[in-house]
Amino acid sequence: MSTKAQQTYERVNALVDGGTPKAEAFKQLASEYGQPVTSVRGAYYSAKRAVEGGGPSTRRSRKRETTPEDAVASAVATLEAAVDAIEQELETAKERAAEAQAEYEAMQATATARTEEIRGKIAVLAPAVAPATPTGTPAARKEGRRS
């Protein structure tokens, strides 16, 4: 189950994706929740930092020294986060490639029909214009033949 801050973050983003300005989304949710706008805004940015890995907290750590174990654990966590980011990038790239492949296949499936339709319109609009003959091609002109 998600926290109230996470729910607020998701709702605000959904409203913004739908075209609502962020300030208006905060006001709308504040009205729905019966809370001040500043509380909704604070919940949103708190969840945003958690989700997007924002800057350091304003709260100061009580720990006075870093142990070697802490440093190793921090390094491992950073590297694991990097692996997760790479895996996410790969998944995103795979999705984009699948979308591009689907678009290509759709265009390829309709290309012949679209081309024939356009050629039919050309034939109706310009029946006296004959298609280019082999002697009218650039290769034929290069060889010295005229069309």
Structure tokens at 140: 């034929």
Q: What is the mean pLDDT of the chain?
A: 84
Specify the pLDDT at position 143.
57
DSSP for 62-118 reads ------HHHHHHHHHHHHHHHHHHHHHHHHHHHHHHHHHHHHHHHHHHHHHHHHHHH
Long-range contacts of 76-85 (CB under 8 A, 24+ apart): 81/53
The whole-number average pLDDT for the span 108-128 is 92
CB atoms inside a 10 Å sphere around CB 142? 8
The whole-number average pLDDT for the span 59-73 is 80
Specify the pLDDT at position 136.
53
Predicted confidence (pLDDT) at residue 117 exceeds the cutoff of 90:
yes
Specify the pLDDT at position 59.
64
Task: Express each pLDDT in 1-20 by its tens digit.
Answer: 578 889 999 999 999 999 99
3-state secondary structure of 19: coil
The whole-number average pLDDT for the span 38-50 is 90
Task: Report yes or no: 30 and 40 within 8 Å, Cβ to Cβ.
Answer: yes
Q: How many CA atoms lie within 13 A of 41 on its CB side?
A: 8
Distance CA 43, CA 29 (A): 11
Distance CA 52, CA 95 (A): 21
